[in-house]
Structure 1
Amino acid sequence: MAVPKSRRSKAKGRTRLSNWKKKGERASNLALNSAKTFFQKEKKEAALALMKKNSKETPDSPE
């Protein structure tokens, strides 16, 4: 015969909800930090490439 499940207390429910929200918050922070790091590296690489390009175009001759 089927037995009804016991009721979950408010404290347990709130704890589970809090943990679920924190897990999502941690995941979103990790994703944001990864994206920031990626774009910072990309920015540095672009700046270095631009500096190399500029140094090749302008000859070093005293005026």
Structure 2
Amino acid sequence: MVEYFTQDEHDTQLSETKGAMLDKIDEILEENLKSSLTKLVKAPSAKTVEHILNYSKSLTK
């Protein structure tokens, strides 16, 4: 019973860590998207459009 509880606690801790990492990744992607959209408004370039399209494609995965 103790081993099972320890394993369950470990899995919970890993899940919380993964959740925190995903939140951080989402935050970084959001900042990159905002930056790309700002650049697009000021001076649209093919590279900026490509970054936005790649980001939108990553959302469907």
Q: Which has the larger radius of gyration?
A: 1
Alignment TM-score, normalising by the size of structure 1: 0.65
What are the equivalent positions in structure 2 for 1:13-28 lying under 5 Å apart? 15-28=1-14
Alignment TM-score, normalising by the size of structure 2: 0.67
Q: 2:22 aligns with which of 36, 39, 53?
A: 36
Question: Residue 49 of structure 2 corresponds to which residue in structure 1?
Answer: none
**What is the CA-CA distance between 1:54 and the residue it aligns to?**
1.1
Higher share of residues assigned helix = 2
**What is the CA-CA distance between 1:20 and the residue it aligns to?**
0.5
Please give the root-mean-square deviation of Cα atoms over the aligned residues, in Å. 0.9
Give every structure 1 segment of 4 or more consecutive aligned residues whose post-TM-superposition deviation is greater than 3 Å.
none
Q: Which runs of 5+ in 1 are unaligned?
A: 1-14, 59-63
In the comparison of the two structures, how many residue pairs are matched?
Answer: 44
* Larger relative contact order (CA 8 Å, sep ≥ 6): 2
